[in-house]
């Protein structure tokens, strides 16, 4: 079930009452990203304040989550509360972990879409209530998802469809007990009726589903034979997991295929119909990703009706079932997006408990900055979307954090400006040795400007790189010209910012405001939060997010992962290569080492996030990482290595000194977003093109393990791309069409006026033309209204365009091709493919519909 924001404190107080005071009865599992790390820091602080013993364990992916389940959950009799931070929202977590009765599982997740089984299935399969009637969560345990507003406000149709499917199952009993031939006759009869209604074209929504159900029933035995053949070579645990997956209890999105290393995946059910491989107590909801969510409910046996009554009921049931199942299929198939940062949800909990302070607010601000840095912008589901609706909800969260900074850091008695925005220059040092306050400060969209030179900070800024084309020599000259125009000497700009001339620093913002329009830098200045640690240093929340992200990606030492050589082979020249079993064993060993290294990186970042000295010591690592991003991105663009395929663009990083750096999915995501922003600006400048708006796929070679790490970046991941970019292109098209139409009318007027002796006719024609001109705006309005109506679903909600559908496409391609694929990341758009299978995988991906 789910719990709204105003009941977070209710759930926490229940944990405080029920948790053991002597043994750790609370287990926290967290994913390896900055937002989850901040939320983990905040939550453990609250637990320590209440003297609640707990354990913390980071998990790198679904396979690591399975190991943690065996080690910490399944055999832990003391466990009462399991808290998942950035983990488990996309899967049926109760089924995945096989949770025991009495264990309450909290799921705090910003990734979307939610698995409906988590948020709508109450304890015992009976409850859909958010909380109990007495205002408390049920004592029976189960899964409790923390709602940021999406569930209560926008998922009511999905909740109704989910509830009705279970009620229908309880009423009619097991569908598979019906005579299959009669059911096929009913569906064939309905198919014929739909063809008549659609003038013989047969394009009704039920056509595909009915025919696919028949095919599924006829091919069920063949699938079982294929399963038995494919299970050879897997361990007993993998074989049991695969049986559970193909029996209808797998879960939507990326998780089901994360159980074993480089396994083959069965083909998806692209039509979104209900699978027939169910048991007596299950009805399954099939997503467009080819997975089924099992809804376990008590059955009442077959319907007692017989004859025509049973036939009519069966036909009505099939229609309703297809209607509700289609709604849930559409929900899953729209692709992945993001909700509110979970660090913000934990701060809401602290605020409800009356424990908010600068430390927790600082961590929440870092989490918000990290979400923006990785392109995880909140999407709006409401019907009143505006031009900036992609970032409207993010700005709403930022507004709350900004108000909290002002509230917790009021002006001092002596007239200080703690918590008040400065309109002159950046804050770079504290006012006193005891100054640990937060304050609002104007922030330039430069990279680590307080700790780098102004020139390097601007050169490595993803925002400026896209606007000024800094990957080229012409772009670098443009940057030098901008600095010269503002009266900034290169000698001053190449020294550390804190040592620059004070007058230049104070006048930097004013000069940027004057010249930003000339270079298209309208959003060069924004508002941020800065914290000082006395005389020890001063960092912005964005700086900390960059540094902590770097620690998670490359570690405290900053050494590149093993990427120079592949798995061990026979050392003698010309000798036979090692056996496939040895190679797989070596790859598995390297994989385990990488997981352990990632966990060690998390622990280093966890310790450093509130330690100013560790953060300062890690600044050079962050600078090195962003130099690598600039170098790799420049090489891909300048060498024209970004290929245009049918459904997406492709960039492959397989050579150069920084290849090993991008074997981390988060680092590769930063490179992908850098490239996507650059491509976006190029397209907006060139205007409309055939390849405009295509998403981007970036692959990096992990030579040590013999595979490619692939990240799919949807166009919606870049802020403003979906609405702002498309609106600009559409406006350009409309302006050209209007100008052309206007020119044609003027030419017609000139021709008519040039004819002598027809003044009366000319007057009449002019009146008709004026009437036509008055009618044109209404026609345009009607066209706009038609296009708007097309963007709304049958429930009157505005559809969210630009979602990332790579998670669905990756699973479909993995099922349809023989490529050895491993989907293990909590991010649905991250996948691993064997080096030899990359070509076939990308070819299959090019045939998919990726833009949502």
User: For residue 733, what pLDDT is reported?
Assistant: 53
Q: Is the pLDDT of residue 249 over 50?
A: no
Three-state DSSP at 711 gives: strand
User: For residue 435, what pLDDT is reported?
Assistant: 86
Using CA atoms, how far apart are residues 348 and 354, in angstroms rounded to an integer? 10
Q: Which two tokens stand for residue 439?
A: 């304050």
Count of helices and strands (H, E) across the chain: 29, 19
CA distances (Å), origin 552, targets 349, 547, 602, 711 = 26, 9, 6, 17
Q: Which two tokens stand for residue 508?
A: 């930097």
Of 324-338, 390-404, 727-741, least confident by mean pLDDT is 727-741
Residue 122: which of 143, 153, 106 has the closest Cα?
A: 143
Q: Which two tokens stand for residue 339?
A: 């909700």
**Packing angle, helices 619-638 and 665-686, rounded to 10:** 50
pLDDT tens column, 43-97: 999 999 999 999 999 999 999 999 999 999 998 999 999 999 999 999 999 999 9
pLDDT tens column, 120-150: 986 443 433 344 434 444 556 789 999 998 8
Question: Which pTM does this prediction carry?
Answer: 0.77
Considering the chain, what is the average pLDDT of its residues? Answer: 74
Which ranges constitute the DSSP H helices of 278-388?
A: 307-333, 342-352, 358-373
Of 147-151, 283-287, 634-638, 812-816, least confident by mean pLDDT is 283-287
Strand partners, 338: 111, 378
Of 176-185, 245-254, 385-394, 399-408, least confident by mean pLDDT is 245-254
Using CA atoms, how far apart are residues 244 and 91, in angstroms rounded to an integer? 14
pLDDT tens column, 4-28: 999 999 999 999 999 988 899 999 9
User: For residue 731, what pLDDT is reported?
Assistant: 52
89: left (phi over 0), alpha (psi -120 to 50) or beta: alpha
Q: Which two tokens stand for residue 146?
A: 């923390």
Task: Extract the runs of DSSP E, i.e. beta strands, from 475-601.
Answer: 525-532, 538-540
User: For residue 284, what pLDDT is reported?
Assistant: 38
Confidence of residue 305 (pLDDT cuts 50, 70, 90): low
């Amino acid at each position: 079930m789910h719990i709204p924001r105003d009941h977070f404190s209710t759930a926490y107080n229940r944990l405080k009452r029920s948790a053991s005071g002597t043994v750790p009865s609370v287990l926290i599992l967290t994913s390896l990203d900055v937002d989850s790390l901040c939320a983990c820091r905040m939550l453990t602080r609250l637990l320590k304040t209440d003297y609640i013993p707990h354990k913390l364990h980071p998990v790198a992916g679904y396979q690591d989550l399975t190991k943690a389940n065996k080690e910490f959950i399944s055999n832990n009799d003391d466990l009462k509360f399991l808290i998942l931070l950035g983990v488990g929202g996309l899967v049926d977590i109760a089924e995945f972990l096989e949770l025991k009765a009495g264990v309450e599982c909290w799921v705090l997740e910003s990734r979307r879409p939610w698995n409906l089984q988590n948020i709508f299935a109450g304890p015992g399969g009976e409850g859909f209530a958010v909380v109990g009637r007495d205002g408390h969560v049920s004592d029976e345990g189960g899964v409790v998802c923390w709602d940021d507003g999406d569930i209560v406000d926008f998922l009511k149709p999905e909740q109704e469809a989910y509830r009705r499917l279970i009620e229908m199952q309880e009423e009619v009993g097991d569908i598979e007990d019906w005579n299959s031939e009669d059911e096929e006759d009913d569906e064939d009869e309905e198919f014929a009726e739909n063809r008549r209604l659609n003038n013989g074209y047969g394009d009704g929504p039920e056509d595909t589903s009915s025919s696919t159900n028949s095919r599924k029933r006829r091919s069920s035995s063949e699938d079982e034979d294929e399963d038995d053949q494919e299970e050879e070579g897997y361990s007993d645990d993998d074989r049991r997991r695969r049986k559970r997956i193909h029996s209808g209890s797998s879960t939507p999105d990326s998780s089901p295929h994360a159980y074993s290393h480089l396994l083959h995946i069965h083909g998806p059910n692209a039509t979104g119909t209900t699978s027939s491989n169910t048991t007596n107590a299950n009805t399954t909801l099939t997503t467009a990703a080819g997975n089924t969510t099992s809804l376990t409910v008590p059955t009442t046996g077959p319907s007692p009706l017989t004859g025509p009554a049973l036939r009519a009921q069966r036909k009505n049931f099939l229609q309703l079932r297809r209607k509700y199942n289609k709604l849930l299929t559409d929900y899953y198939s729209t692709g992945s997006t993001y909700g509110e940062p979970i660090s913000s949800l934990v701060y809401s909990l602290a605020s409800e408990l009356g424990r908010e302070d600068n430390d927790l607010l600082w961590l929440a601000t870092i989490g918000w900055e990290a979400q923006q840095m990785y392109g995880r912008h909140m999407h709006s589901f409401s019907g009143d979307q505006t031009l900036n609706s992609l970032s409207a909800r993010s700005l709403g969260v930022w507004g709350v954090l900004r108000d909290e900074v002002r509230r917790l850091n009021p002006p001092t008695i002596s007239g200080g400006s703690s918590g008040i925005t400065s309109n002159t220059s950046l804050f770079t040092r504290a006012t006193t040795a005891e100054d640990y306050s937060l304050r609002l400060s104007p922030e330039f969209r430069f990279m680590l400007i307080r700790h780098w030179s102004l020139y390097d900070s601007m050169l490595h800024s993803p925002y400026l790189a896209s606007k000024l084309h800094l990957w080229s020599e012409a772009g670098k000259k443009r940057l030098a010209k901008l600095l010269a125009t503002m009266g900034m000497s290169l000698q001053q700009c190449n020294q550390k910012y804190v040592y620059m001339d004070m007058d230049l620093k104070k006048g930097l913002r004013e000069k940027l405001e004057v010249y930003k329009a000339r270079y298209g830098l309208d959003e060069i200045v924004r508002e941020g939060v800065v914290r000082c640690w006395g005389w020890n240093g001063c960092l912005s929340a964005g700086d900390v997010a960059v540094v902590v992200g770097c620690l998670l990606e490359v570690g405290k030492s900053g050494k590149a992962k093993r990427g120079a050589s592949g798995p061990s082979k026979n050392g003698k020249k010309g000798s036979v290569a090692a056996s496939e079993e040895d190679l797989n064993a070596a790859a598995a060993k390297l994989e385990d080492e990488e997981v352990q290294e990632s966990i060690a990186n998390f622990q280093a970042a966890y310790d450093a996030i509130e330690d100013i000295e560790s953060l300062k010591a890690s600044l050079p690592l962050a600078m090195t990482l962003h130099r690598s991003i600039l170098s790799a991105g420049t090489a891909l663009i300048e060498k024209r290595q970004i290929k245009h395929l049918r459904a997406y663009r492709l960039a492959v990083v397989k050579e150069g000194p920084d290849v090993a750096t991008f074997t981390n999915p988060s680092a590769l995501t930063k490179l992908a977003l850098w490239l996507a922003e650059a491509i976006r600006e190029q397209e907006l400048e060139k205007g409309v093109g055939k390849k405009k708006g295509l998403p981007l796929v970036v692959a990096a070679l992990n030579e040590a393990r013999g595979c490619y790490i692939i990240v799919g970046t949807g166009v919606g991941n870049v802020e403003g791309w979906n609405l702002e970019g498309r609106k600009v292109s559409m406006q350009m098209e409309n302006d050209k069409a209007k100008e052309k139409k206007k020119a044609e009318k003027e030419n017609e007027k000139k021709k008519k006026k040039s004819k002598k002796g027809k003044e009366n006719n000319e007057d009449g024609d002019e009146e008709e033309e004026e009437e036509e001109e008055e009618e044109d705006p209404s026609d345009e309005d009607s066209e706009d209204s038609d296009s708007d109506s097309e963007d709304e679903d049958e429930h009157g909600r505005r559809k969210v365009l630009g979602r990332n559908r790579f998670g669905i496409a990756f699973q479909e391609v993995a099922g349809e091709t023989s490529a050895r694929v491993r989907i293990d990341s909590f991010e649905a758009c991250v996948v691993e493919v064997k080096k030899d299978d990359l070509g076939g995988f990308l070819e299959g991906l090019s045939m998919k519909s990726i833009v949502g």
